[in-house]
């Protein structure tokens, strides 16, 4: 089973992805984590990535799509993918469809965790005290949210007619969101 967790930064995608990894024995495919790993390598690409991330911008599609392609064609992960933070733009959504078709896979569930800006700001400021991420500064958070809203609206439109698309109130408690996801998975 392949799933997409979709929603603004701080919506709780990572938390739910970790739950689903255990429940389904799948793999969490977090493009944010993969990009942070590239930064750790201190490569030229890593330097470009950190600049975009700290500016609250999206990292170039070419870089992200290459990372995703490697994962999709990894036989160990075949049909065991939980996408967290990808796709984030219409071109990424189209790229994902193509790669899945090419590898004889499909998306079984798309969960949209919908959360408003005020809740996101509160949550990320809290996360900042725990994770100390360089892109969790207030002005970067606001930029990240605004970038998300601008570029992901077409992605929402792309998926919202899909029969496997489910919108969930992401401002609810973690356990309530998990229960809703569980419920959809058994339908
Ligand atoms: P995240 O950990 O998902 O909140 O992502 C942190 C940052 O990594 C984002 O603000 C972007 O700069 C970058 N990033 C993560 N996923 C993507 C993606 N699918 N496309 C472009 N940039 C991304």
Radius of gyration of the chain (CA): 16
Residue 109: per-residue pLDDT: 98
DSSP structure string for 70-118: HHHT-GGGTT-EEEES---SHHHHHHHHHHHHHTT----EEEEEE--HH
**Candidate from 17, 50, 59 with most ligand 1 atoms within 8 A of CB, to mutate:** 59
Q: pTM for the complete prediction?
A: 0.90
Q: Which ranges of the chain have pLDDT less than 50?
A: none
In degrees, rounded to 5, the angle at the alpha carbon of residue 148 between the alpha carbons of residues 143 and 152 is 160
Residue of the CA atom closest to atom 19 of ligand 1: 86
Topology, domain 3-178:
Rossmann fold (3.40.50)
Measuring CA to CA, how many Å separate 100 from each of 71, 103, 114?
11, 5, 25
Alpha-carbon gap, residue 156 to 125, rounded angstroms: 26
pLDDT number for residue 187: 67
CA distance 166 to 180: 10
**Ligand 1: lining residues by beta carbon, under 6 Å:** 9, 31-32, 35, 52-53, 57-59, 64, 85-86, 88, 92, 135, 144
Which residue is closest in CA terms to ligand 1's atom 12? 53
Task: Quote the ligand 1 centre to 56 CA distance (angstroms).
Answer: 9
Q: Mutate which of 5, 15, 31 to test ligand 1's pocket (most atoms within 8 Å of Cβ)?
A: 31
pLDDT at 170: 93
- From the CA of 95, how far away is ligand 1's center (Å)? 16
Q: Please, is 48 exposed, middle or buried when counting C-beta atoms within 10 Å of its C-beta (0-12, 13-18, 19+)?
A: middle
How far is residue 30's CA from residue 18's CA, in Å, rounded to a whole number?
10
Please state, in angstroms and rounded to a whole number, the distance separating the CA atoms of residues 144 and 96.
22
Give the residue among 75, 82, 133, 70 at the shortest CA–CA distance from 111: 82
Contact status, residue 41 vs residue 64, Cβ threshold 8 Å: no
Q: What is the pLDDT of residue 144?
A: 83
Closest residue CA from atom 11 of ligand 1: 58
Which element (helix H / strand E) includes 8? none
- One DSSP character per residue, 156-170 reads HHHHHTSTTEEEEET
């Amino acid at each position: 089973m392949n799933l997409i967790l979709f929603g603004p930064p701080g919506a709780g995608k990572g938390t739910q992805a970790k739950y689903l990894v255990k429940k389904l024995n799948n793999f969490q495919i977090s493009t944010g984590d993969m990009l942070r790993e590239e930064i750790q390598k201190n490569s030229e690409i890593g330097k470009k990535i950190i600049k975009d991330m700290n500016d609250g911008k999206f990292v170039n599609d070419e870089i992200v799509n290459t990372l995703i392609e490697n994962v999709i064609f990894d036989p160990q992960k075949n049909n065991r993918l939980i996408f967290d933070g990808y796709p984030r733009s219409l071109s990424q959504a189209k790229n994902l469809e193509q790669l899945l078709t090419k590898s004889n896979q499909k998306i079984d569930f798309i969960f949209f965790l919908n959360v408003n800006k005020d809740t996101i700001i509160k949550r990320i400021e809290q996360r900042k005290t725990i994770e100390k991420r360089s892109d969790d500064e207030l002005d970067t958070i606001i930029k990240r949210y605004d970038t998300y809203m601008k570029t992901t609206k077409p992605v929402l439109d792309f998926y919202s007619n899909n029969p496997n698309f489910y919108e969930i109130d992401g401002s609810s408690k973690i356990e309530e969101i998990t229960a809703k996801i569980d419920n959809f998975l058994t339908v």
